Amino acid sequence: MSQTKSTKCYIEEYETEPGHVGLRLREKATGRKVNLGTTTAPGKQHFVQFLAAAGAFKTRMPDIFSRDGDKDCILVSGDLDFDAPDEIRYIHNDQLSYLFD
């Protein structure tokens, strides 16, 4: 049985290989990985575009990329698949949402 949860997140930038950067969501304060569940290729593309928009406004919303900053965040809400000490995973369904807050 899934439960509904909202999580304040930041974007972590990490090096995937020399010269290439990856992005992932982490929970503010705890740093736990936030996984949006399994989706389709168009769903992944939509999320990548969302993250790209955050990068374009990095100077206006610097806390989007900060674990400790509390002014800006990405608010993820939806049904939980599981909530573990190192990761929160959502079910990618019609209840899932992510927005700048």
| C-alpha to C-alpha distance for 68 and 89, rounded to whole angstroms | 21
**Adjacent-strand bridge partners of 21:** 15
87-90 and 33-35 strand pairing: parallel
Tokens 């290439």, residue? Answer: 20
pLDDT over 90 (residue 21):
no
Provide CB contacts within 8 A for 57, sequence distance 6+: 64
Q: What pLDDT sits at residue 9? A: 95
* DSSP 3-state percent helix, strand, coil across the chain (nearest 5): 20, 45, 40
Question: How large is the average pLDDT for residues 65-77?
Answer: 91
In the 8-state DSSP scheme, what is residue 1?
Answer: -
Structure confidence at residue 2 as a pLDDT band (50, 70, 90): low
pLDDT over 60 (residue 1):
no
Q: What pLDDT sits at residue 77? A: 96
Structure confidence at residue 56 as a pLDDT band (50, 70, 90): confident
Q: What pLDDT sits at residue 35? A: 93
Convert the pLDDT of each residue in 25-44 to its tens digit.
Answer: 999 989 999 999 888 888 88
Question: How large is the average pLDDT for residues 34-58?
Answer: 85
74-83 and 97-100 strand pairing: antiparallel
